[in-house]
Structure 1
């Protein structure tokens, strides 16, 4: 299968590192014009430079904005008023005792992980519907259906994205705009690796040891028995963004290594 996204415009939120960066790079290699987003101009510029090395012929732009706020989303939509492909990837996470998570933290997670996707999808879906073509993706997580006890506040946001994704697909019924959620499992993203690095240093063990133990202790049902790579998640995203995925919509697509032990 050859995926050709030449002539398509893609916005990937939270794309200066990790899964978002891998998706942006994958879409650029497939020929899409890509917009990188991040909170600082420096991080955006660094990501653009890396992707240009991997995909020299791709058109790449960047927008620095805090998409966890209405103002940040407005900055993005004003600079990039339309798109063919929207990947709602930006998100925050972190383990914390349920009884220690205060109201402000709950609100912050909701604003960044959920409302950024709501605001941007609401804006860009209108143009996609008018043009009768588009791809909207929500990067959820296996934690959205397999709620982790150490991150209930995070799992809640990922469950919300599943609801929004399915509902928006129904709103766009009968059009050539597809809406899907992608559910990664534990992935070797920058944030996860930094968290595991801190754990390894605290316990005086290697990064490899802590990664293996993390999967065994926290996601024992994993079939692949390892962390996924950002590129493995990006491969699913690139396919779902393609013309070949025209009959895939309203779906929750797992890239979680078999952690969720259910058939549906």
Structure 2
């Protein structure tokens, strides 16, 4: 299936690793020129170089989206190569803290990093999309927005806000050819998650081999129909579909990519 992304330019925030990097690589493979973003320009350049070596088109935009100045720099660099047709708001931060540990200052920082950072990029890039009457905004949310754990409440709440702002933006863009949607991953296997689960496995009795640990930890923590964790490439696939013209009639939607997760209790 041709997603018809050739000639489009996409900025993927937080794309030097994990879900963001996987998304950038898939969009580039589908013909889009991707702008790799991160706070570390060298890491961003390394991902961009790898994409170019594999026949794709890539540029770099570095900046801390937690500040207005950093967002300005990021937008300026992203636009240097041409108009941005696709904005994937992926950048964010996560701390595993309980209610007692998550102070008010930590809540405020989580909201700034996970919510306002995306707003900054929307305000800098979406007006031009509206003017050209074409664009795609995809916000990476998560299942914890609607099925929160009892821990890391600040992060759960920030995800809920990401979902909410994406729908509000879709309503504001009504009547245009610019859409706003959410891709909500479930538990996704990235190296940090695998390391954490492997370390936790002995005390939880999940086994020693990774196949055992994955199977048993999924059943205990995030029961889902696939009985496994998702992979970054599976999130990227949902994002890529929403970026193209085949998804023109999808707006204000939340696309769950969670294996059919029904509950969570960590």
Regarding TM over 0.5, the answer is yes
**Alignment pair present for 1:72 and 2:73:** no
* Alignment of structure 1 residues 163-174 onto 2, 5 Å: 163-174=164-175
Shift of 1:150: 1.7
Shift of 1:119: 0.8
- Distance, in Å, in 2 between the alignment partners of 1:78 and 1:202 is 49
Shift of 1:202: 8.0
**Alignment pair present for 1:25 and 2:25:** yes
Gaps of 5+ in 2: none
Shift of 1:256: 0.8
Change (3 A) 1:150 1:205: farther
Corresponding residue of 1:210: 213
Structure 2 residue matching 1:137: 3-state secondary structure: strand
User: What count of residue pairs does the alignment treat as equivalent?
Assistant: 258
Change (3 A) 1:188 1:122: same
- Distance, in Å, in 2 between the alignment partners of 1:188 and 1:5 is 27
Structure 1 residue matching 2:96: 3-state secondary structure: coil
Corresponding residue of 1:40: 40
* Cα pair 1:17 1:189 within 8 Å, conserved: no
Q: What do the CA deviations read for 1:75-111 (whole angstroms, capped 9, x no partner)?
A: 1012223410000001112321111111222122111
Structure 1 residue matching 2:31: 3-state secondary structure: coil
* Cα pair 1:18 1:191 within 8 Å, conserved: no
Corresponding residue of 2:260: 258
Shift of 1:197: 4.4
Change (3 A) 1:39 1:198: farther
Corresponding residue of 1:131: 132
* Cα pair 2:61 2:75 within 8 Å, conserved: no
Change (3 A) 1:42 1:145: same
Ranges of 4+ aligned residues in structure 1 off by more than 4 Å: 200-204
- Distance, in Å, in 1 between the alignment partners of 2:191 and 2:105 is 24
TM-score normalised by L of structure 2? 0.91
**Alignment pair present for 1:247 and 2:245:** no
Shift of 1:37: 0.6
Structure 2 residue matching 1:115: 3-state secondary structure: helix
* Cα pair 1:68 1:116 within 8 Å, conserved: yes
* Alignment of structure 1 residues 138-177 onto 2, 5 Å: 138-177=139-178
* Alignment of structure 1 residues 171-250 onto 2, 5 Å: 171-200=172-201, 205-220=208-223, 222-250=224-252
Shift of 1:208: 3.9
- Distance, in Å, in 1 between the alignment partners of 2:115 and 2:215 is 30
Structure 1 residue matching 2:136: 3-state secondary structure: strand
- Distance, in Å, in 1 between the alignment partners of 2:93 and 2:199 is 17
- Distance, in Å, in 2 between the alignment partners of 1:138 and 1:208 is 31
- Distance, in Å, in 1 between the alignment partners of 2:109 and 2:2 is 40
Shift of 1:151: 2.1
* Cα pair 1:17 1:190 within 8 Å, conserved: no
Shift of 1:201: 8.1
Change (3 A) 1:211 1:93: farther
* Cα pair 1:144 1:162 within 8 Å, conserved: yes
